[in-house]
Structure 1
Amino acid sequence: MDIDTPQQPTAAQQQQAIHTDSLSFTYGGPLILNKLKLSVPRGARCLLVGSNGAGKTTLLRILAGKRLVRDDVLVKGQHAYFNTPDGITYLGPEWVQNPVTKRDLQVSVLLESHNAGEHPDRLAALLHLLEVDPTWRTHQISDGQRRRVQILLGLLNPFDILLLDEVTVDLDVLVRRDLLAFIRRECEVRGATVILETVEFNKLIQRENLPQAYDSPLLRIKERTKWDDLKDDMKVHGDKYYNYWYRADPY
C-alpha cells in the first residue's frame, strides 16, 4: 500500500499547536469530516461541540495520533500520525468502560505505574483537586470516582496538548469547576493547549433554542468569538443552566 509522504510544514504552521488546511475522514461510508480547516494557537482553550455523529471523537483521536489519515494534520508542527510528537495527552471514555479498570487495583499502585513520584507537588495538587484517595480499590468505587482516577493519571505528567473527550460528564459540579480552573492555569502559566469535548453545551444550546450558527465544530474561547456572544446570551436567558454547569466561571 502506497502512503503519501507528509509535506514539510511551513514556519507559520509550526507556530500553531494544531493545524490542518483540509482534513477529510471516513470509516468507509459517508465522510465524517469533510475538508475541515482548523488552526489552534498555542495556549488556547477550546470547546468542541456538535451533535452526535458529527465527528468530535474522531477528530480528537486523529489529533492524538490514534487514527491513520493521509491529509496533513500537524500537531506541534509534526504529522499527528506519522510523526506523533511527545507531550500529547488524550483522555476518552474507553478507560472507565474497560473491564480491567473494574478489577481489584489499588489507586496507589496505578500511581506508581505512572511514575507519580517524579512530580510530587503536582500529584498532591491533583489528589486534593479531584478528591482521590490513593487507598481506593477500583472495583469498589463508583464510575464517577473511577473517572477522577483516570483524569488524575492523565494529568500527572505535564502536557503540551490536552484532548478531553467527554471526561467531565461524570464529575460533580464542584470538582468540574476546580478541574477547569486547573486547566486554565496550565494554559496561562505553561502555554499548554486544551480541547474539551462535552455534550453539556449541546444540551444547553438545544434548550435555549440558540441559532444553529453557534453549533460549530470548534468554539475558541481564549479570544472573543461567537462563544463570547453565546456566553453573554446564556447569562441573560440561561442562568439556571450556566450556574449549574460552572457554579463559578473559571474562564
Structure 2
Amino acid sequence: MLTSGYHTANGSGKTTLLRLLSGKHMAPNSTVSVAGLDPFKEGLEGVCYLGTEFVNNPIVRTDMDVPTLLASIGGDFYKDRRDELIEILDIDVGWRMHAVSDGERRRVQLAMGLIRPWTVLLLDEVTVDLDLLSRSDFLSFLKRETELRPCTIVYATHIFDHLADWPTHLVHLHLGKIKDWGETEMFDIGGMRKSENSQLGELILSWLREDQRERGPRNA
C-alpha cells in the first residue's frame, strides 16, 4: 500500500509532475520511470490520471443520464465497483448531467474515472467541489482500495479535512524541485495540536512560509 499526498504553493509544479508520471507530458530520455517504464514512450496499463482535462470534459455537461455515462466506460462490466461508487459518492442515477450542480457533476466524473480497477491513481485536486461528507467517504474508499489490493495513489491537494491519517508518505515540492519526501512519521512540526488534522496543516503551513521566504516577493 502507498498513499502519497503533497501540497505546495500554486505554480510549484504539482500538475506538471502528475502529467509526467501519467505520460501526458514528454520528458528527456530516462528521466521519468513508473514501474520501470517510460510512461510517455511505452504507456502504462493500469495508470489512471484525473486532472484538469478530466474535470473540464464537455461531455459530462450534455443532456445525458448517469447510467449511460457510466456504461460508456465499463460500468456494466464492473457492476460491483459501479454500484459501490454510486453509493459512496451519493449519486442519483436519475440525474441529467446538464441540469446538475458542479458538485453533483464532479461525483459522476469521479465514478467514471474509477470504475475500472487501477494500479496507480494520480489525483490533481479533483475533490474541490465535493461537500465534506462526500469527500470524507470518497477518501475512505480510496484508502480501503490500497489496503485490499496492491495499488498506489498520489494525491495533490489544498484541502486537509479528514486527511491526517490518509497519506503514508508526504512530498514537499518547491519551484519544480522536491525539497522533502518520506514516510509521514518522519515529519515533526514540534508540538502537538488539538488534532492530527491541524498538526498536518501546521506542517504544510511551515513549508509554505519557508518556500515564500526563499522565493521572495513575486514582483521583486
Corresponding position of 2:206: none
1:202-217 to 2 correspondences below 5 Å: 216-217=172-173
Corresponding position of 2:110: 151
What's the secondary structure of 1:82's corresponding residue? helix
Aligned mates of 1:215, 1:190 — CA distance in 2: 23
* Greater RCO (CA < 8 Å, at least 6 residues apart): 2
Aligned mates of 1:216, 1:160 — CA distance in 2: 23
The amino acid that maps onto 2:88 is L
What's the secondary structure of 1:74's corresponding residue? coil
Q: CA deviation at 1:97?
A: 2.4
Q: CA deviation at 1:135?
A: 2.0
Whether the aligned pair in 2 keeps the contact of 1:102 and 1:138 (CA below 8 Å) is yes
1:96-115 to 2 correspondences below 5 Å: 96-115=55-74
Misfit runs of 4+, over 6 Å: 218-221
The amino acid that maps onto 1:115 is G
Aligned mates of 1:236, 1:61 — CA distance in 2: 30
Aligned residues: 186
Aligned mates of 1:95, 1:47 — CA distance in 2: 20
TM-align CA RMSD: 2.7
1:172-187 to 2 correspondences below 5 Å: 172-187=131-146
TM-score (norm 2): 0.75
Q: CA deviation at 1:237?
A: 9.2
Identity %: 38
Q: CA deviation at 1:198?
A: 0.7
Corresponding position of 1:26: none
Aligned mates of 2:185, 2:113 — CA distance in 1: 29
The amino acid that maps onto 1:112 is A
Corresponding position of 2:99: 140
Residue 194 of structure 2 is aligned to residue 238 of structure 1: no
Corresponding position of 1:5: none
Q: CA deviation at 1:238?
A: 3.4
